[in-house]
Structures are given as C-alpha cells and as structure tokens.
Amino acid sequence: MASSYFFSLPIITFFVLFLLPVPPSAATSPETKSPPENEELFTHLQKLTKPAIKTIQSPDGDVIDCVPSHLQPAFDHPKLKGTKLLDSPEMPGGDVFSGEVEVGDEVQRWRISGEVCPEGTIAVRRATESDVLRASSIRSFGRKPAAVIRRDSTGGGHEHAVGYANGDWYGAKASLGVWTPAVSTATEFSLSQIWVISGSFNGDLNTIEAGWQVNPQLYGDSSPRFFTYWTTDSYQETGCYNLLCSGFVQTTNKIAIGAAISPTSIYGREQFDITLLVWKDPKHGHWWLQFGSGLLVGYWPSSLFSHLAQSANMVQFGGEIFNSRSSPFHTATQMGSGHFAGEGFRRSAYFRNLQVVDSGNSLIPLYNLRVLADHQTCYDIRAGVNRAWGNYFYYGGPGRNLRCP
C-alpha cells in the first residue's frame, strides 16, 4: 500500500516517485568456545537471521535478505507455528483520494538499483551484531522503552502531538509527509505514525502501529525508516518493531520493513509523503497493512491480541518523540519537520486525508477528530478540512527553544 509523491504550490500536483544467513563464527566451532556474554547475542542473531536465497546490498549499508515466505520470523510464534500465508484480504470500500500511486523503485534506498527479491520470498532487513549491541540489553532490542502511557500527558519521556478519535473502528488510513528530524542523542527517537488501539492505558493496551521513524539506537543512523510495531500489554513484554520478534506476517517482496525511505521532504521545497492503511479483514479477522495504493505489506494475526481480536476503540495519528532527559533542559530532538504547525505547507509536517474503517468495511472521513499536544511550546498541532486534503493537520516542532527550555 505504498504511495509516494511530490507536491508543488500553489496547486497541489502529484508526481510518481515512484540466503545469506550470517556465517557461523569461528567461536562456535568445536575447538573454540565463545565467551558466555557473547553466546546469548549469537543465539539471538541466529534466531533473527533466516536462510536467504538472495541478498541485496543497499547503498546505505543495509543488507536485505530475500527469505522464503514460509521461513520468516512470524512463524516462530507459538500461536502461528504450522500456519500458512493467507490469501489476499477483502479490501475496504469507500473513497480513494487522488495521488495514491503504485510503489516505485525509489521508495526505499535498497530499491534504487532496481533489484527486488524473487517471488515467493519476503524482503528482510538483516539485524546485525552492532544493532543489538546498541540496545541497553538483548532483551530490550527492538522494543520501545516501556512507560506509563497516557493520552492527556507525557509518560516516561514519551511526548506526542496527535489527532485521535474514539469509537468502534476497524481500521485507519492517512497520508503522512516524510521528513528527517534531528535527534539529539542516540537513545532518543522521533516518529510519525498511525496507531490502532484497544484496551486501557493501565496495562492491557493493545496497539498496532505503522509509520516512519528516525531511531539511531535501533538502526545506527539518522535516516527516516518505514516501521511497524505491536503490543498487547502496554509495551511491557509483548511485541516489537518490524520483524525483530515473531508475530507480524510479511507478504511482500517489494518493501523491507525497517529500511530507509527515499526521497524525503525538503523544507520550503518538494514534499514527499506515503499512504498507509491498517484494517481488519472481515474474511479472517486479521489486521492488514497496505502501503500506497495497492501494496499489501502483511498482517498481524488476530490471535496475537486480546482486545484487538475484535475491534479498536481509538485510532490515532501524529508524531511522537522520546525524551531521554539526559540533561536538565528539554531535549532538542525534533518532531516532524522540526517546525511548528503554524508554518504550514512545505515547512510543517502533515497528515492528510484522514479516514477510518467502519463495521461495514468501508472507509469514511474522520469527522470527530480531536487534537492534543503534550507540550505545546515544544511541539504543537493544528487541524483543518478542505476539498483536496479532506481532514488533515499540521504538527511538530523543534523541541527545546525559548518557550520550551
């Protein structure tokens, strides 16, 4: 479901932008024994690195493994062992906004050469030893920092500028601009995403999440990367980013979850956005993810969830940063473009064409949108409605500034 395109003023016009397993270390041979502290790391990487029939080297240093679909990490999950890939889901009906195009080779950096994984495989960004070692622990690798999550204030350093709507929902869709916000420290991140939520914020929260993020600790660089996330217990024990634990079932060979998005928006110039749709397939009850106008990325099986096994009671769109509070001042980690919502098009980050999926599997405009910014002097949000963008909002900010010390 990947769509990407550029805008130009004053009239918005869209242009199409549109195995090799890790070799065994000598330390594992019968003659030598790896240090105990490395055995857990080696075992974890072996679990994540599946046999590939082709490997693609990305110009940004990523290694993309083309893994046979039936060998992907998802099927290591106890609830998914022995299951098979599903047929295509029943797509939601309703409005399709102009500008949603097929995925081109330029949508991710590893596709720039024109190479793609063969049919019958999925594209997997290989996790490296360096990736794991940047995490605070092997156990925490691939997980969001746990926190008390609230919608009316920050929790554990997480700060938001979001639009949300309560109701009985079966999916959400939006187009979101892609930027490269500056992140102050390696332990902080900045992201823009869609959340599909059910349960309470007191410990049994179920979420499905998809968007882009800049996360130096997870990826080792400052590039915006396409990501997914899920949890069934408020980020405490379950779920992870991308394919870094079993659960999400990928079905595409054209997109690598966790790989860098290219191009990105430029302040005052071209704007680039992606369209994401998450919805519950009425045929099988699983939650599917589409990138752009028609690329099915994969699905979260309903058996992973408790509350989301039925429907969502909230959808949410917007930005989030993690403030590590490593200094007495507010972090200078940027959200969105790093500029406040009031600067508008070509300068502020945006979400446009906000929609939800109703119980009849139809996309409908999201009219009851509410907006919230945890710290309005650090990051803010402004919503509106027009014919070209439907329901939309601008959001973001620089973090530390004269009004956000």
pTM score over 0.95: no
Query: Per the omega criterion (within 30 degrees of 0), is the bond before 36 cis?
Result: no
pLDDT (tens digit per residue) in 170-213: 999 999 999 999 999 999 999 999 999 999 887 789 999 999 99
Give how far Cα 338 sits from Cα of 14, 109, 182, 184, 379, Å.
24, 23, 8, 12, 9
Query: Residue 202 has what pLDDT?
Result: 76
Nearest to 256 by CA among 131, 126, 102, 76: 126
Pairing of strands 380-386, 390-396: antiparallel
Catalytic residue IDs: 209, 320
Pairing of strands 4-7, 271-280: antiparallel
pLDDT per residue, tens digit, the chain (405 aa), is 444 444 443 333 333 333 334 343 333 333 334 455 589 999 999 999 999 999 999 999 999 999 999 999 999 999 999 888 888 999 999 876 655 545 655 799 999 988 999 999 999 999 999 999 999 999 999 998 765 444 444 457 999 999 999 999 999 999 999 999 999 999 999 999 999 999 988 778 999 999 999 999 999 999 999 999 999 999 999 999 999 999 999 999 999 999 999 999 999 999 999 999 999 999 999 999 999 988 999 999 999 999 999 999 999 999 999 999 888 999 999 999 999 999 999 999 999 999 999 999 999 999 899 999 999 999 999 999 999 999 999 999 999 999 999
Sheet with 206-214: list strands edge to edge: 225-231, 206-214, 190-198, 312-322, 158-169, 370-373
Query: Residue 84 has what pLDDT?
Result: 86
Q: Which tokens sit at 313? A: 């009671």
